[in-house]
Structure 1
Amino acid sequence: MNELTKQWKGLSLSQREGPKFQMRPNLATTEYIIAAKFLTKRALNMDTIVVTFQPLWRSKNGFRLKNLGNHVVLFIFDSKADVDNILANEPWSYDKNLMGLQWYEVDSDVEDLSFNLTHFWVQVHGIPVRFMNKRVAEGLCETMGQECHLQNALTEDGGSFMRVRILVNISQPLCRGRVIAFDDNRE
């Protein structure tokens, strides 16, 4: 390798090849990219992926795919709003298997991406109505992941629950529940 490097340094371009061509940011195309890791052992069919997600994502100008191997696929969009909408509505699945999604910066290496965090909506039942607030949701959900968004929901049959959007580390086992203690020693 050192021999090749030494030979390469000995080469020079003639005047006919011209001066350096400066790659400026204004020359680059504007693309917004989502990197997706398909958490399955089955082979991926790119045509089926397009047919599956085009009607679901309803992207204004559609998207292009680039298969990077190892079940990692880049979804390339023309619109930042499309990417923001897709990421805001995760989790997504394909063929009944979870997909890990991540915003992809063009200058970063795909090998550096970590696909172990995914958003989930979690329902919290059995909470008295007066305790249905953001502080209680944060306290209850801190063991599951990072709390992102709270939504109270009163059901038609008189029951009530909180919906909490949580960023979950999917490489760890899921929490099955949490014991709640009240001041009067009830659990």
Structure 2
Amino acid sequence: MDHPNLDGLSLHDGEEGFRFDFEEEDEQLDLRWCLVGRFLGDRAIHIQSMKVRMADLWRPMGGVTIKEVGAGRFLFHFAHPLAMEEVINGGPWSFDNNMLILEQIQLGMQIDHIPLMYVNMWVQVHDLPMGLMKERVGTTLANYIGEFVEYDKNNNSSFWRQFMRIRVKLDVRLPLKKDTKVMDKVGKWCTVKFKYERLGIFCFVCGIMGHAENRCEVRFAKEQDDGTREWSSEIRAEPRRQGGRITSRWLREERGGRPEKGDGGTAEQTETIIGHK
């Protein structure tokens, strides 16, 4: 009588099952170049429209394959690891104002068990006292908001900066921090405000991303909504200008009393006029 092959059989806490070694490469696709994601919110997603929109936003070299792999979960397969890294570093991304939460595939984990609860976002810190625009300060504030990821050193390029930029890993189940206090040089407490870039659907009642007031459990649990809101639209950062200054071939700038092409001059010296052909 032949006996069954029991190699890899494991008994643990009374449970019987098999334990295997995991290979780095899958027979069908390289999992190292895959992301799994879900959209934050309870609104239905038009899948084909989403696929086209995300591909157009990312424009990855070699393209991207997008497949639904479970209820509300999607697999994003890239042709090259650099294309995948650009998507990870360029987020957060959204479709129809629903933020996309992405995680890199973890070898040996079931897709349904990968916790899609964290998103990296750029946060602006406004009203910092002079002298505190430093990375060590940004790291501390980032860890108060969530978990520090990156400090935007390029934001230091101008002489006068209105805010500090820090990249923070946020738990989407928790309310967003809107401000905190720091002490200035003379011992006075100052309030600094946080503004979140690319913030999607957000609730001003409970401070949590992914739903609006009309879907807020906290609001509906109240006996009466008196209209008081702890959060406001100030928590949204204004879109950052891309590509430098907007110009027109029909615009000329007047400097020193006569029209000239190009930039320059102080605000008091410069006046734009419409040029004529």
Q: TM-score, normalised by structure 1?
A: 0.78
Cα distance between partner residues in 1 of 2:157 and 2:26: 53
Partner SS, residue 114 of structure 1: coil
Aligned-pair CA distance for 1:182 = 2.7
| Contact kept in structure 1, 2:142 and 2:167, CA below 8 Å | no
Distance in 1, Cα, partners of 2:26 & 2:115: 30
State the number of aligned residues.
166
1:169 equivalent in structure 2? 171
- After TM superposition, list the pairs within 5 Å mapping 1:34-183 onto structure 2: 34-105=35-106, 107-152=108-153, 153=155, 158-183=160-185
Q: 1:129·1:160 contact (CA, 8 Å) conserved in 2?
A: no
Cα drift, residue 26 of structure 1 = 6.7
Deviation at 1:70, TM superposition (A): 2.0
Alpha-carbon distance in 2 for matches of 1:69, 1:91: 22
Does the Cα contact within 8 Å between 1:144 and 1:175 map onto a contact in 2? yes
* Helix, strand or coil at the partner of 1:83: helix
Q: Larger relative CO (CA 8 A, sep 6+): 1 or 2?
A: 1
Flag the 1:108–1:151 CA change in 2: closer, same or farther, 3 A.
same
- Tell me if the contact between 1:122 and 1:165 (Cα under 8 Å) persists in the aligned partners: yes
| Closer, same or farther: CA 70–24 of 1 in aligned 2, 3 Å | closer
| 1:125–1:160 CA contact under 8 A, matched in 2 | yes
2:121 partner SS: strand
| Conservation of the 8 A alpha-carbon contact between 1:63 and 1:75 | yes
Offset of residue 139 of structure 1: 1.9
Equivalent residues in 2 for 1:9-20 (5 A)? none
Q: Is the 8 A contact 2:92 2:100 kept in 1?
A: yes
How far 1:146 sits from its partner (Å)? Answer: 1.1
Unaligned regions of 5+ residues in structure 2, if any?
5-21, 190-277
Look up the match of 1:13.
none
Give the match's secondary structure for 2:183.
coil
- Counterpart Cα distance in 2 of 1:64 and 1:167: 26
Q: Residue 64 of structure 1: SS of its match in structure 2?
A: strand
Q: For residue 177 of structure 1, what is the amino acid of its counterpart?
A: D
CA deviation digits over 1:29-74, x for unaligned, max 9? 4351110111232322221112101121111111112212321111
Which residue matches 2:9? none
1: CA distance, partners of 2:106 / 2:90: 20
> Matched residues in 1 for 2:173 and 2:23: separation?
40
TM-score, length basis structure 2 = 0.54
Give the structure with the larger helix fraction.
1
Alpha-carbon distance change, 26 to 139 in structure 1, aligned in 2, over 3 angstroms: closer
Distance 2:101 2:185 in 1: 41
Partner of 1:186: 188
